[in-house]
Structure formats: C-alpha cells, structure tokens
Structure 1
Amino acid sequence: MARYCLVRLILVGSLLVAPVALAGDHRADLLLERMIKAVENLSYEGTFVYIHGQKTETMQIVHTRDEQRGQRERLVSLTGEPREIIRDDNILTCIWPASRSVVIEPRRSRLGGLPAAIPDRGFGPDSPYVFRLEDEQRIAGLPCRTVQIEPRDDLRYGHRLCINEESGMLLKSEMLDDEGRVIEQFMFTSIHFPSTVADDKFTPVMKGEGFSTYRVDIHHSELPPDPGWKVNEIPDGFHLTSVTKRPMAANQNPVQHMVLSDGLATVSVFISLAESLDDLYVGTTRSGALHAMAVPSGDYQVTVVGEVPEATVRMIADSVIHEGNGQ
C-alpha cells in the first residue's frame, strides 16, 4: 500500500486566503495580507530552491486560479527523488516514479506548494510574534521587501519573508533559530506571471506503464478519536486545532493525530497502540528545522513532530497523557 501523499512532500506552510490582523508594524500587516492573497490567486510559473538540513532541492511550480476550475497547481522535483504533485482544487495527485505509484486523495487543506511559514489566523496584542517591515532585496530579478517575524520566546522560530510589493508575491522565506541563524530557506530563482495558464501545464509527465494507483478516502477511513488523550502542558500561544483518528499504511493499528498551532508554527502529535512492547522506543531526531521526539505511554507510542525547537516538542511529548480507564 502506498504512503499518504503529503506526509511530507516538502514541509509546506499554510497559505490561507483569509485576511490577517497582525501584531507590529501596520505596513507589514498590509503587505502580508497582499502576499496571502497573491500566493492563492495569482497565476505564476517559476523555479525555486529549497534548503533544509543538509539537503538542497530544486522544484518547479505552476499555479493558477479561476472561477470555473478553482485553484490548480503542479509541483515537480528537478533534483533528488523524482516526484510530481498535482492539485486540482479539491483533489491531490502524488506521483512517485521510484515506487511506480500514484496516490489520489482529497485535499485536506489550502496547503500550497511553497515551503514557507505563513500566518493562518489573526494575532492580537498577546501575539507570540512581533512583525516588522525592513529592507528591500532583489530576488529572481524582482525587488522585494522584507517582513521580519520575531518570536517573543524560545519556543518557536523566527522568519524573514521577502515579498514583491507590486504583485504581492512571496519570493523568499528564511526560518531563523534563536541566534538569528538561517536553518531553512526557500527562494525563487526565476518566476513570471502569465495572464493565462494552459490546461496541459497540469497534465502529469511522470506517469507510465506499470504504475499502481491508490485512492484514499480520508472521510470514509476516519474513526472516532479517543477523547481521553490530552496534552497536559501546551506551550504558551499554542492551541489544539484538530483531532482525528484513521488507519495508516505504515501501522496496522489506527493512529490518533492531534494538531497544535500558534497561528504560524504547527506541531503534530501521533498516538498509536504498539504492536508489541519491543516496538516502543524513546528518542529525538532532527532534520533542518524539523524536530521529532518519540516516547512511550503505557502500551502506546507517542510521536511529536514539528518545525519548532527541540524544547517545544519535548515539552509536548512529556505531557501527553490519557485520562480515564482503558486506552
């Protein structure tokens, strides 16, 4: 059975069309609002570089939106493992030539193909971030203005977004650690904005003879989540945004998935019954900005994953409990 499409194609940030009211410089607020709309609504074609951990990937993207077809997007890897992702408004098609597999599933959110952290909700005066407009740069031959996003504590990362003021398009994004060092970044190397995008731009090019197709109906496969599972110590600024439970290809037992978000950073908590006690493990891993921590809870394995500092995933993992009898 094939893997789910977007366990992580490239860890992409939320690109939502809803306007935001952010803490900090009002000019930065307005530019971010324009950027969110531009990324969702503009027609654009381009190539970008994504650097995370020790990996550098080059990706090609084409995107458009119209009243008849909604939002469409095609993302193709130009380096590394071949893969192709096509999003046709409500359907996501993921093509993996190495395993000769195609996975088709409903699109779960408005996630787009750009690996950048974008606010997904408004922030008030108690925001865990401060937003500030800074200097101008030149990316992919276009001028862009920098928006600095600084965390108020060490539980989350900072960000720098460079936005073309004329179009509102995001051209570069950097994720920063607590010392201001870049730990992950994406940047367009070329981009243009066609007035129309031909339908054949969204036709798969990697499919061929002998590919197996898997269709995932996430609504049919969802199970009632266990309400006994709780995160006892949620970091300041984070809130529980969703709880689901469904079978997964890599585990014969269903997996409960809890999502915590502060409006910019997102942390996932996965909980599943271990097939045997020998399968339970403890440990942390890191890949670029991504931290993961696994801890046992009785006969269950708890795994916490997110683009946040290790201390944040550790705080969450150590505080996952089950209330009540039976699990």
Structure 2
Amino acid sequence: MLQRSQKLTALFFTFFISLFSLAQEKTAPRQLLENMRKANEQLDYEIAFVQTTPVNMESLRYRHVNQNGKIYAQLITLDNAPQEIVQRGNIISYFQPNYQVFSLQGSQIVDNLPSIMWSNFDLLSNYYDFINIGRNRVADRIVQTIRILPKDDFRYQYLVFIDEQSNLLLRSDMLDREGNLLDQFRVVNLHINEGLDDLPHYLNNITFPPLISRVEPSEVTNIPFSWNPEWLPKGFKLINKMLNQDKENQIESLLYSDGLFSFTLYCGHSIIPNIPENAWKQGSTTFYSETKENKEFTFIGQLPLSTAKRIVQDIRYLSK
C-alpha cells in the first residue's frame, strides 16, 4: 500500500511539474489569441459550457461547423424552457418560448458567447495589454492563460484560457479592476470533429423566420439625433443607430463598441421629470440613467459604473 501511494505521489508531482512549466516555454500571448480566433472560426466542434455571474448560472451547448467557408452553428439552453439560436451562413435566427421568432444578419452568434472569441487583436492592442501568465487546466485539458489588461481605468479586464491542442477558448473570466468576477464562460465538455455531420443538414431544412432589417453602418449618420456623447473611452466607435417610435414615446439609441466591450445609450421622454440619477449593476452589466431637460438618458453596457456615469453626464444637445 505504501509503495502504491509513493508511485501515485510521484505521478501527481510529475504531472504538475509538466503542467506549470518554466517561463521560457510560454508562447507569445498575441499569437495565442490569434490562433484562438482562427480555431473558433475554422474548426468543427461542440462544447457544453456554463455561464456564471454573481446572480445567475446557465448551462448551454454550442455546435459549430465550417463547411467550405459557410458557417453552421447552433446554441441551445440545457436547463428550463428550451431556447435555440441557429446560424446558417450570414443569417441568425432566434427561437424562444413566448417570443415571436425572428432572424438577423450577422457573422456569428454572440449571445452567451464571449466576444473575445472573434475579436480583432490588431485593434485591441491599442487599448489593451496581453500577458501570458502560464499554463493551467480546464475541462481536463492543458491551457495557456492570457491576461487582457486595459491601458486605462475605464473598462474591465479578462482572463482567457486557451486549449494547447485545439487552440479553442475553454474559459474566460471578466473581472473588475479589483479582480472580482463579473462573468465567467467555462467549457465542461469538448468534442472536435465528432458527431457534427448532421448539423448542416438539420439547418438546411429549417424554414428560417422573417429577417429583421437593420441600419447599415454606412447609413447610421443619416439618422438625425439632437444629442451626442462628448466623451468616450478611447477606441469606442459608433456601431449602430436605432429609432423606435410608438404613440406615446420615441426612443433613440446609439450602440458603441471597442471590439471587446459594448454599450448602448438610450434617449426617451422621462416618465417623472427631473428624477435623480439611478444606477445599479447586474453581473457585468451596468445600468445608469439621468434626466436632462425632461429627456431620460440611459446607459446599459459592460463598463464600470464610474465610466457609465461620466459618459451620460457628458451628453450634450447639439446646437440647431
């Protein structure tokens, strides 16, 4: 029994020596991130994962096939009422209980999946530092761990864990500046090139719901708004404008992103004029609103509360 215990201890020690290797074996973090992006786009794979926030946890399954450059993908919930999002080429369709089904144009499913999977790292390198902090272990696989640190104090940070064999993302932690966990994506099961032959056939036989038209990026400036944020953290660009109008209210919105984090500014008539500021957080999402001249401006997005507050307070009405 003692001899067996000594052998197990030796094997255990040898495993962890190989797992947490010396610094000279670390791969350049930028190259690891580029390899991850290519693997997420090009490989055929299936992952079961959990998404965790301080107030919620969801279990989901994502299947992805690249067939001659055409993407077929499926994201489904594994608990409670079934929900499904599917992608065929550049069409993404949503099937959710108690909601009308619809389709959008897009290059990938973004719901419940970290945006870091498809980020442009040439762009992000202007605003973030990438640091390889060594090996770890996720879903019984060896991973390289990269810390993504903002170069300013206006946004959050990331830890990403990249599979050494496949280069797929197996875990990501979104952290605030103090290191508190805001959102975690964690793979618990991974299959590559296994049992995915039926996915393109299944999606090719689905009748996709109607396509909702969206404002093209080249057309966003054609929608006149009377307001605009005068300050934004460096790197955030206008992605889309929306104008929703009903009999009682008109809501204008601006969507911004730096390629990793995003937020939306909303403007509408205030229900209670001159209400004080309101702020709260739900996981990684910040909500902040203020009333200016009987219009309520609301921030919803993945940035710290102090940043959201500064953005909203620096909104100005445009001179006519």
1:289 match: 284
1:323 match: 318
Per-residue CA deviation, residues 2-57 of structure 1 (Å, 9 max, x unaligned), is xxxxxxxxxxxxxxxxxxxxxxx980000000101111121111200000131000
State whether residues 101 and 214 of structure 1, in contact with CA within 8 Å, keep that contact through their aligned partners in structure 2.
no
State whether residues 239 and 257 of structure 2, in contact with CA within 8 Å, keep that contact through their aligned partners in structure 1.
no
Distance in 2 (CA, whole Å) between partners of 1:27 and 1:33 is 10
1:92 aligned onto 2:87: no
Give 3-state SS (helix, strand or coil) of 1:256's partner. Answer: strand
Distance in 2 (CA, whole Å) between partners of 1:214 and 1:106 is 11
Per-residue CA deviation, residues 110-131 of structure 1 (Å, 9 max, x unaligned), is 4545532424352487x33211
Give 3-state SS (helix, strand or coil) of 1:82's partner. Answer: coil
State whether residues 49 and 58 of structure 1, in contact with CA within 8 Å, keep that contact through their aligned partners in structure 2.
yes
Give 3-state SS (helix, strand or coil) of 1:49's partner. Answer: strand
The aligned amino acid for 1:30 is Q
1:313 match: 308
Equivalent residue in structure 1 for 2:213, among 217, 237, 249: 217
2:61 match: 60
Provide the TM-score with structure 1 as the length reference: 0.77
Cα offset, 1:294, TM superposition = 1.6
1:247 aligned onto 2:244: yes
2:183 match: 184
Distance in 2 (CA, whole Å) between partners of 1:61 and 1:219 is 28
Per-residue CA deviation, residues 135-155 of structure 1 (Å, 9 max, x unaligned), is 212212221100011223321
State whether residues 215 and 242 of structure 2, in contact with CA within 8 Å, keep that contact through their aligned partners in structure 1.
no
Greater helix fraction, Structure 1 or Structure 2: 2
1:234 aligned onto 2:232: yes
Aligned length: 286
Please list every run of 5 or more consecutive structure 2 residues that lacks an aligned counterpart in the other structure: 1-25
Equivalent residue in structure 1 for 2:264, among 268, 272, 279: 268
1:304 match: 299
Give 3-state SS (helix, strand or coil) of 2:148's partner. Answer: strand
State whether residues 157 and 308 of structure 1, in contact with CA within 8 Å, keep that contact through their aligned partners in structure 2.
yes
Distance in 2 (CA, whole Å) between partners of 1:73 and 1:289 is 25
State whether residues 93 and 103 of structure 1, in contact with CA within 8 Å, keep that contact through their aligned partners in structure 2.
yes
State whether residues 285 and 303 of structure 2, in contact with CA within 8 Å, keep that contact through their aligned partners in structure 1.
yes
Over aligned residues, Cα RMSD in angstroms?
3.0
State whether residues 50 and 187 of structure 2, in contact with CA within 8 Å, keep that contact through their aligned partners in structure 1.
yes
Distance in 2 (CA, whole Å) between partners of 1:258 and 1:100 is 24
State whether residues 280 and 300 of structure 1, in contact with CA within 8 Å, keep that contact through their aligned partners in structure 2.
no
State whether residues 87 and 109 of structure 2, in contact with CA within 8 Å, keep that contact through their aligned partners in structure 1.
no
Per-residue CA deviation, residues 83-115 of structure 1 (Å, 9 max, x unaligned), is 111111221211112x163222323x5454553
State whether residues 274 and 294 of structure 2, in contact with CA within 8 Å, keep that contact through their aligned partners in structure 1.
no
Per-residue CA deviation, residues 42-87 of structure 1 (Å, 9 max, x unaligned), is 111120000013100000110111226x112110111245311111
Give 3-state SS (helix, strand or coil) of 1:270's partner. Answer: strand
The aligned amino acid for 1:292 is F
Cα offset, 1:261, TM superposition = 3.0
How many percent of aligned residue pairs carry the same amino acid?
23
1:104 match: 103
State whether residues 65 and 200 of structure 2, in contact with CA within 8 Å, keep that contact through their aligned partners in structure 1.
no
1:43-54 alignment runs, 5 A limit? 43-54=44-55
Distance in 2 (CA, whole Å) between partners of 1:82 and 1:195 is 23
Equivalent residue in structure 2 for 1:256, among 244, 248, 252: 252
Cα offset, 1:299, TM superposition = 3.8
* 1:151 to 1:200, Cα distance in 2 relative to 1, 3 A: closer
1:132-211 alignment runs, 5 A limit? 132-194=131-193, 197-200=196-199, 203=202
1:73 aligned onto 2:66: no
Distance in 1 (CA, whole Å) between partners of 2:239 and 2:275 is 25
Distance in 2 (CA, whole Å) between partners of 1:193 and 1:124 is 28
